[in-house]
Structure 1
Amino acid sequence: MNKILYAVARCLLVATTMLSVSCKDFLIEEPVNSTYSEAFWKSSRDLSSALAGNYALVRSVISSGNGGGPRYFMYGDAVARYYFTLQYTGDGLEGIQTGDYTFQYNVESFGDWRGYYKAVTMSNIILNRVPKIDNALLTDLANPEKFKNEIMGEAYFLRALVYFMMVRNWGDVPIVTEEYEDPISAPELARSPKAEVMALIEADCKKALELLDWNYTSLGDAKVTANKGSVEALLAHLYLWRATTTDVTTDQPNMQDVLAAETAIDAITTNGMYSQTDTANYYSTFIGKSREGIFEIAINDDVREGSNAHIGNMFLRTSHIQYYGTNSRAYVNLDYFSDHFYKFDKVWNWYWNATIGQWEWREGDVKVVDDKDVRLRKNFTDMATDRPTCIKYSNVSYRNTAQNQDAYLSNNIIIFRLSDMLLLKAEIALYKGNTLAAINIINSFRTRNGADPTAMLPTTLSKDEVLYEYALERGKEMYLEGHLMYDLIRTRQYANFVSWLSESRFRQEGFYWPVSPDLFRNNNKLTQTTYWRGKV
């Protein structure tokens, strides 16, 4: 991934300096002299370094959070609690699993969007300055215009991705698309309606599609920088989110957006450059850069880009990191296994016969855990205990190899991958009323992963029954990838999985996060998220 690895020290200096010239206090807090930034935009190396800074800022915000809990996974998986439990260690992180986001450290950390706006600001700087660069300065390039287009296309994608993450977490957020020359005199910005934010995301994606190719200029950039596939995947998720959350007073999705999502996914699947990873090489998908990957955040310690604050670190124990304890910060809930990985066994037992009103001894179907499914066998250990662990991300290396100390994970953060897109097709089929198509997609995933034949869905199921099974299948396939809570909101399956999210709270958009009180200090136009007014 040449753009990100290229001149790391230079990249970080550029990122720090560039951010100092953009936006108001609630976005960026440290305006400094902009002399260096004005002298910077003179070569292709400068542009590559600026873009690398943009990627670095996106990675930083995804990985940050209270108590070592990376926010991308806390928002997308942990808040549901159904999938895993966070143990108490004194920082109150586990409080987010009850739906009470008001604990001080949590609201100050996860309610703070400044890191997102630092990434937005870098995109804005790139989009403002790159078109103004004289091609004559880029003498080392055979096609300067194409190079500039790629830089801008990736910046549009990154801005769209960051706004998409924010709109799913807060709904209405300020829209900033300008590079302010003087941050002190920049206007205070109010929150823009979520519909406008999603319109900006869509517009940025369409601009990115015009500027990017499917193929990568450098093989090292594959998967960890944006291409057309990355943009189409973001659009697919955007359209489904917009179709189902623009108006939460209804459970009927906007079919225009549903069909637009289908078109975006079709563009990916018909291109032919992606394929699902063979289950025999299951872990390669989550190390990264597999044929299945569409867009990923680079986490590779071979080039000193590993992470010791990865979501995987929260689950691993002594058996994977020598100096860790036997109890991990997070563990998988036992109900998750019995609900998701099921099969039916024939067992002789007493069964109640409601027709005749008495018990009878006979052979009947009993639901038990399906231990054949690859995703169960590969992703989890310690299942005989009351605190199983997830090893989906366990590619560990020690920087101190002599003593097996200073462990870092080298598992990319998978933002979009092909299996995600293929499963979304089942959701789209259900919205279109094609229950059989959805059943076939779900069954194809179970067959591919070696599930027991009794786990296959019969064709007689109702739409609501298939929606529940779809949520289970997403819960197996996309476990700990930052999607599950959003899946439950879109499909309205939250009632079956998230005990704290009542229908009343959902209709009040109580799944959004509050804004940290720190952000109100110098912005009189900012307002608290509606559900949390008077609570934070």
Structure 2
Amino acid sequence: MKKGKNIILFTGFALLMLLSVSCKKVLDQEPRNSTYGEAFWKDPNAGTTAVAGNYALMRDMLSTGMINTDNRYYAYGETAANLGYTMFAADGYGNMDIQNGNFAHNYVAASLGDWTAYYKTIAMANIILKQMNAVPESVLAVHDNPENYKNNILGQALFIRALTYFMLVRTWGDVPLVIEAYDDPIRAPHLGRTPKLEVMAQIEKDCKEALTYLKWEYNNSSEKSVTANKGAVNALLAHLYLWRATVSNVSSTTPIMADVDKAAEAIFEIETRGSYALTDTSNYYQTFIGRSSESIFEINKSENTLEGTNRHIANLFLNRDYINGYGINPFYRVNQSYLNSHFYKVETVTAWAWYWDPPGQWVWREGTTTTKSPDNSDIRRRKNFTLSENNVDMCIKYSNVIYRNPGQKLDHRISNNMNIFRLADMKLLKAEIAIYKNQDPVAVDIINSFRTRNNAHASQLLTAAAPRDSVMNAYIEERYKELFLEGHIFYDLIRTRKCFDIIGWLSPTSNRFAQEGFYWPVAPALFKENKYLVQTQYWRGKI
């Protein structure tokens, strides 16, 4: 293992104080002390408390960001694609710059270029791995099965570290690799950025080790979906393998088939052993409220455990029809072009009309014309989007609003968990895998199954003989219909190279993709504390 450097300077590890309540659920354990001190680990339940804090750090890591961004997870995975939504007007903080690919804007680079929160999360995971391995068996003897207890804690920490690094490597490419817990992080050695392939190898290693510790089932119902199990680890592996298969060498459009096969194996494990099921469309919104039958891993933001938030991505998409005190327009509006290009029907109409007869005259006769028009039959169109009173297209996918002062409708909280991995995502990835394997009819069947399930118009169904490019286009359309505002589309477009067609600033003529200009710059402030740190290649000299 390569030793890494904790880039972040912080004075201690009392980071678990982010937790706000002390009920007996795994994500709500009240910390009593620093997680690094020896006394802390003499408590037989210290591992549970530490993991709860680690998940709290991950939630904070993904849920904060630039002013008017809420949250960085969506800024990286959605806003940068500049496809589904846009602001009403520039806000002065650079949000429109993200959509235009200008990550060097002062506010953008300083905030979303800062990976501090990621390394805090990693530092905590490293501490748990080091300290939990050192806890004497006698301390854990109070548990019914001390070995299972210890294994679960280790598996959770490994998953958290692996997922955090995966998010880092997709956003920045080469990143410092920190896999050691230092007694004094301020005096830890300074190291530069580790090549992304080495980082991905470590992610894979952590995942494989986590699989040996974790089970498919949860210890109790409160852990379902919001902590890791074998399903969550396999979902992470599926995404890791497809990213590595397609982005390891951006000059090639040929995926690394060994990794494609590994992704298929991970998804096979999920489908055959995970006991997951797609949410019934009659209970559509439960998928996004949380802990549904298809949820594999999500970040807990439920008001049931007092972790609902008024800093949710939904705050930018809802108006006064959904949140008392808000204005007539949401901060972001859904692009009509997205709706028309993803939810439509093609019909052939027979009618009498004037037709030009090549000899040189107009003829009144019966004929056929093909028309393309908006279609509202798809349940995802009907459930996820609506018009405001000002005729603005809004996304209401996350609209489970709860008031802490319900009588006066004050102090609202959005109680929708943040989906990271769910079964629909995995099933759609199988279509991408089939395309890479030259099994286009398999991909067509998967895409059509989603369209049929969601009541899309019959004209949306592909034929078995559809050409490759049409199948890939349909796949990307289906991903963004199913996973709108779930943080996937930007990375989908990079993997499949459909970014060339959709993201203007990554067009083939710009040469930016070849220079890996889809990665983000590092915040300038981080260079003050590490003399070995270098700027992301594309952004050198630009920031």
TM-score scaled by length of structure 1: 0.92
Matches within 5 A, 1:207-246: 207-246=209-248
Retained in 1: the 8 A contact 2:50–2:128? Answer: yes
Aligned partners of 1:166 and 1:506: how far apart in 2? 18
Retained in 2: the 8 A contact 1:333–1:387? Answer: no
**1:252 aligned partner:** 254
Q: Give the unaligned 5+ runs of structure 2.
A: 1-22
Aligned partners of 1:327 and 1:449: how far apart in 2? 29
Secondary structure at 1:363's aligned position in 2? Answer: strand
**2:456 aligned partner:** 451
Matched, 1:143 2:145: yes
Superposition deviation, residue 455 in structure 1 = 1.1
The structure 2 residue matched to 1:415, chosen from 420, 439, 444, is: 420
**1:441 aligned partner:** 446
Retained in 2: the 8 A contact 1:350–1:359? Answer: no
Matched, 1:431 2:453: no
Matches within 5 A, 1:169-184: 169-184=171-186
From the superposition, tell whether residues 150 and 382 of structure 1 become closer, same or farther in structure 2 (CA, over 3 Å).
Answer: same
Aligned partners of 2:442 and 2:485: how far apart in 1? 26
Secondary structure at 2:67's aligned position in 1? Answer: helix
From the superposition, tell whether residues 236 and 356 of structure 1 become closer, same or farther in structure 2 (CA, over 3 Å).
Answer: farther
Name whichever of 448-457 and 139-148 sits farther off. 139-148
Matches within 5 A, 1:358-507: 362-382=367-387, 387-503=392-508, 504-507=511-514
Deviations 1:364-389 (CA, angstroms, capped at 9, x unpaired): 22111121000000000007966311
**1:29 aligned partner:** none
Aligned partners of 2:423 and 2:436: how far apart in 1? 20
Q: Which amino acid aligns with 1:81?
A: N
**2:534 aligned partner:** 527
**2:48 aligned partner:** 48
**1:77 aligned partner:** 78
Secondary structure at 1:163's aligned position in 2? Answer: helix
Secondary structure at 1:112's aligned position in 2? Answer: coil
Deviations 1:261-306 (CA, angstroms, capped at 9, x unpaired): 0000000001151000011110000000011000010011122100
Secondary structure at 1:507's aligned position in 2? Answer: coil
Q: Give the unaligned 5+ runs of structure 1.
A: 19-33
Aligned partners of 2:25 and 2:534: how far apart in 1? 38
RMSD value, Cα: 2.0
Q: Which amino acid aligns with 1:265?
A: I
Secondary structure at 1:398's aligned position in 2? Answer: strand
Q: Which amino acid aligns with 1:145?
A: E
**1:7 aligned partner:** 29
**1:284 aligned partner:** 286
Superposition deviation, residue 356 in structure 1 = 8.9
Name whichever of 471-480 and 135-144 sits farther off. 135-144
Name whichever of 396-405 and 358-367 sits farther off. 358-367
Deviations 1:444-480 (CA, angstroms, capped at 9, x unpaired): 0000000111111122211111101100000100000
Q: State the number of aligned residues.
A: 514
Q: Which amino acid aligns with 2:344?
A: Y
Aligned partners of 2:408 and 2:532: how far apart in 1? 54
Superposition deviation, residue 363 in structure 1 = 2.0
Superposition deviation, residue 44 in structure 1 = 2.6
Superposition deviation, residue 65 in structure 1 = 0.5
Aligned partners of 2:271 and 2:46: how far apart in 1? 35
Deviations 1:144-183 (CA, angstroms, capped at 9, x unpaired): 1110110000100000000000000000000000011122
Deviations 1:117-151 (CA, angstroms, capped at 9, x unpaired): 00000000000010110111123201111101100
Aligned partners of 2:360 and 2:136: how far apart in 1? 86
Retained in 1: the 8 A contact 2:329–2:388? Answer: no
TM-score scaled by length of structure 2: 0.91
Identity percentage of aligned residues:
49
Retained in 2: the 8 A contact 1:332–1:390? Answer: yes
Secondary structure at 1:343's aligned position in 2? Answer: strand
Retained in 2: the 8 A contact 1:2–1:221? Answer: no
**1:39 aligned partner:** 39
From the superposition, tell whether residues 277 and 245 of structure 1 become closer, same or farther in structure 2 (CA, over 3 Å).
Answer: same
Aligned partners of 2:178 and 2:311: how far apart in 1? 30
Secondary structure at 1:44's aligned position in 2? Answer: coil
Q: Which amino acid aligns with 2:431?
A: A
**1:509 aligned partner:** 516
The structure 2 residue matched to 1:115, chosen from 114, 117, 120, is: 117
Matches within 5 A, 1:320-359: 320-347=322-349, 348=351
From the superposition, tell whether residues 176 and 353 of structure 1 become closer, same or farther in structure 2 (CA, over 3 Å).
Answer: farther
